[in-house]
Amino acid sequence: MSGESKRQAARERIAAKRAAEAAAAAAAARRRRVVLGGVAAAVVLVVVLIVVVVVQTGRTSTSADAAAPGNTTGNGYVFAVGSADAPVTLDLYEDFQCPNCKSLEDRAGSTIEELVADGTVQVHYHGMAFLDTDANDDYSTRALNAAAVVADEAGADAYEEFHDLLFANQPDEGGSGLTDDQLVDYATQAGATGTDVAVDIRNLVYGEWVEKAEDQASKDGVTGTPTVFVDGDQLASDQLTADGIAAAVQAAQG
Amino acid sequence: MTGAGPWLATAARALLGVVFVVAGALKVPDPAAAVRAVRAYQLVPEPLVGPLAFGLPVVEIAVGLALLAGVFLRTAAVAAAVLLAVFIAAISSAWARGLQIDCGCFGGGGQVDAGRTAYPAEVARDGALLLVALALARRPASRLALGGHPHDQIQHAETEHADVR
């Protein structure tokens, strides 16, 4: 091999080495960029997370001095009907727009009222409002607000009366809901005749209380309507009949 | 970088990205509903319900945007797969426990009328998306991605992945 070709080979080796070093440096620089970019993105994500959580927490905290109806029992979201000495408590969670609640009322309402009348059961009515739509003009909320107005004005027994009227005259789901005028009429029939009743129904005076009632139901572990508890034990859906409820009350007395 | 693979990966990014951004964005306007949706699963203690309900949409939107833009692709695809696996587990657990809830996947959520649950459809949808996310995590190299030259992407993504782990 000539001296010239040796030098040529050496030059090529040096060039190859330099190219490899350059490639390694470029790869290292790229890794650095990726790591820096990843860290920056992670920091931005954490900051946005914290800001959003704080903002949304602020949006969901309701004011403590929101108007609440009178004649409630317990935590302020319960309307109790029947003797406080009754041996069995029946908790009933319903939405006035819920068709399955209406069918429960149609099937078992009179049985529940008999159990209340003979002193066996105290019913705790818990209103819920999660079936608001644009089409029904937030009927669930308007109906529960109206029911709270009735209770505040005329007591828990009037609440039950109004509750029965609203389920008997429940508007179609997907329809337009009852009007405020109709709610005022039913409130009058249920015995809430004060001068403020119509105003309070139209002005959603307990609107914020309705939202809090909805939150309370969610905290109570209620995830659907109708939900019925007999002395704290939730009934299965196949027990939601007149006979099923009567049997569960009987067993609770046992 | 020839053949249909990279374009399929782009389609997978578009599908997952749009689903995640939309699912996250729909949960932002009504935080009270988001809280109820999370609480309805009865899986997290009350003090964590709020932060989870408010934080999850941010993570979903971030993952969705990364997928759409094509940055941190493998990390984003793995994160999407993890989120979907958690969603499937949560929905299945609600189903198994006989809860009557809407998954709240696209806002809303919480209570539904008895007999209006849609667990099989919700699980099937999330399962299909999970398969797409796993495929994308395996082969993230795709067209129309901001995150560097397509040819480099596999190396890039592996580096990112290692960082995350």
Which tens digit of pLDDT belongs to each residue from A12-22?
999 999 999 99
Cβ pair B39:A218 closer than 8 A: yes
To the nearest whole Å, the CA of A122 is away from the closest chain B CA by: 25
Burial class (CB in 10 A: 0-12, 13-18, 19+), A9: exposed
| Least-confidence region, from A141-145, A217-221, B147-151 | B147-151
Identity of the residue numbered B12: A
Q: Which of A30, A53, A225 sits opposite B55 (nearest CB)?
A: A53
pLDDT of residue A1: 58
Q: Which residues from chain A sit within 8 angstroms of residue B75, using beta carbons?
A: 38
Please tell me the predicted confidence (pLDDT) of residue A135: 86
Choosing among 3.40.30.10, 3.30.56.10, 3.10.180.10, 3.40.50.300, the CATH entry for A79-253 is: 3.40.30.10
Interchain contact, B72 vs A224, CB within 8 Å:
no
What's the mean per-residue pLDDT of chain A?
92
Mean pLDDT computed over A61-70: 80
Average pLDDT per block of 10 residues along chain B, 165 residues long: 78 94 92 87 89 95 94 93 96 87 80 72 94 92 72 46 44
For B133-158, give the DSSP string.
HHHHHH----SS-SSS-GGGHHHHHH
The secondary structure of residue B110, as a DSSP letter, is E
Contact yes or no for A224 and B75 at CB 8 A? no
Question: What does the pLDDT look like over A152-187, one tens digit per residue?
Answer: 999 999 999 999 999 999 999 888 999 999 999 999
Contacts of A35 in chain B (CB under 8 A): 159, 163
- Nearest CA of chain B to the CA of A27: how many Å? 10
A254 to chain B, minimum CA–CA distance in Å?
27
Nearest residue in A to B101, CA atom: A223
Residue B161 has a pLDDT of 46
In percent, how much of chain A has pLDDT > 70? 98
Query: What residues contact A163, with CB distance under 8 A and at least 6 apart?
Result: A94, A96, A125, A147
CB distance A48–B62 less than 8 Å? yes
Query: What is this structure's pTM?
Result: 0.69
What angle separates helix A180-189 from helix A139-154, to the nearest 10 degrees?
Answer: 30
Distance CA A95, CA A129 (A): 5
Nearest to B55 among A38, A52, A225 (CB): A52
Interchain CB distance below 8 Å, B58 and A222:
no
- So what's the pLDDT on residue B159? 46
Phi-psi region of A19 (alpha: psi -120 to 50; beta: other; left: phi over 0): alpha
- Min CA distance, B120 vs chain A (Å)? 18
Measured between alpha carbons, how far apart are the two ends of chain A, in Å?
A: 110
| Torsion angles phi and psi, residue A236, rounded to 5 | -75, 160
Indicate the number of domains in chain B.
Answer: 1
The H-assigned helical ranges of chain B are 5-25, 31-40, 46-69, 73-96, 119-138, 153-164
Count of pairs with CB atoms under 8 A, one residue in A, one in B: 97
How many CB atoms are located within 10 Å of the residue A217 CB? 25
User: How much is the pLDDT for A165?
Assistant: 96
Chain B residues with CB under 8 Å of A100 CB are 113-115
Of residues A49, A100, A226, nearest to B58 (C-beta): A49
The predicted complex's ipTM stands at 0.78
Q: Report chain A residues whose CB lies below 8 A from the CB of B161.
A: none
To probe the interface with B, which of A100, A128, A218 has the most B CB atoms within 10 Å? A218
CA distances from A68 to A129, A131, A163, A240, A248 (A): 16, 21, 18, 31, 33
Residue A223 to residue B152, Cβ atoms within 8 A: no
Closest CA to A102 of B114, B101, B161: B114
Residues of B in Cβ contact (< 8 Å) with A215: 32, 35-36
Cα separation, A121 vs A128, in Å, equals 22
Using the beta-carbon criterion (under 8 Å), do A225 and B50 form an inter-chain contact? Answer: no
Q: Which of B58, B99, B111 sits opposite A130 (nearest CB)?
A: B111
Q: What is the pLDDT of residues A233-246, one digit of tens each?
A: 999 888 999 999 99
Q: Is the pLDDT of residue A71 over 60?
A: yes
Domain that holds residue B53: 5-164
CA angle A121, A125, A126 (to 5 degrees): 140
Question: Looking at beta carbons, which residues of chain A come within 8 Å of B148?
Answer: 30
Residue in A45, A53, A59 closest to B62 by CB: A45
